[in-house]
Amino acid sequence: MGWRKESAVGEMSFLLSIFAVIERLNKSELTNTSKKLIINYVNEATGEGMAQKARAAIWKYTQTVLPSLESIRQKSTSQKLDRLDHLVLKMEYEASRLG
């Protein structure tokens, strides 16, 4: 992720969405040091697209597999989505905005 001036706001929204998912999973607020580590994980992650990089960074930090978009879609047809589902959807949306 390069910090170009014109995309800095989008990148910040993307990072904030990742932090929100991790904070929900860990049930605690991230420190600045943790946030820097997570940014490093995103930057070093392999994968196609920012959503995959985010998922890889979240896995590395939390050892938790996030629900897939398909599983969230299926769940939404029969039950109410929970807070984590909504945070994952937000993260996926922010990733798609970065291209």
Domains of the chain by residue range: 5-98
pLDDT at 5 over 60: no
Pairwise CA distance, residues 77 & 87, whole Å? 18
pLDDT at 2 over 70: no
pLDDT for the residue numbered 1: 52
Residue 1's CB is within 10 A of a number of other CB atoms, namely: 14
pLDDT at 3 over 50: no
Asked if residues 3 and 77 have their Cβ atoms less than 8 Å apart, the reply is no
In the chain, the amino acid numbered 38 is I
pLDDT for the residue numbered 42: 97
Q: What is the DSSP letter of 46?
A: -
Percent helix, strand and coil across the chain, each to the nearest 5? 75, 0, 25
pLDDT for the residue numbered 38: 98
pLDDT (tens digit per residue) in 6-63: 568 889 999 999 999 999 999 999 999 999 999 999 999 998 999 999 999 999 999 9
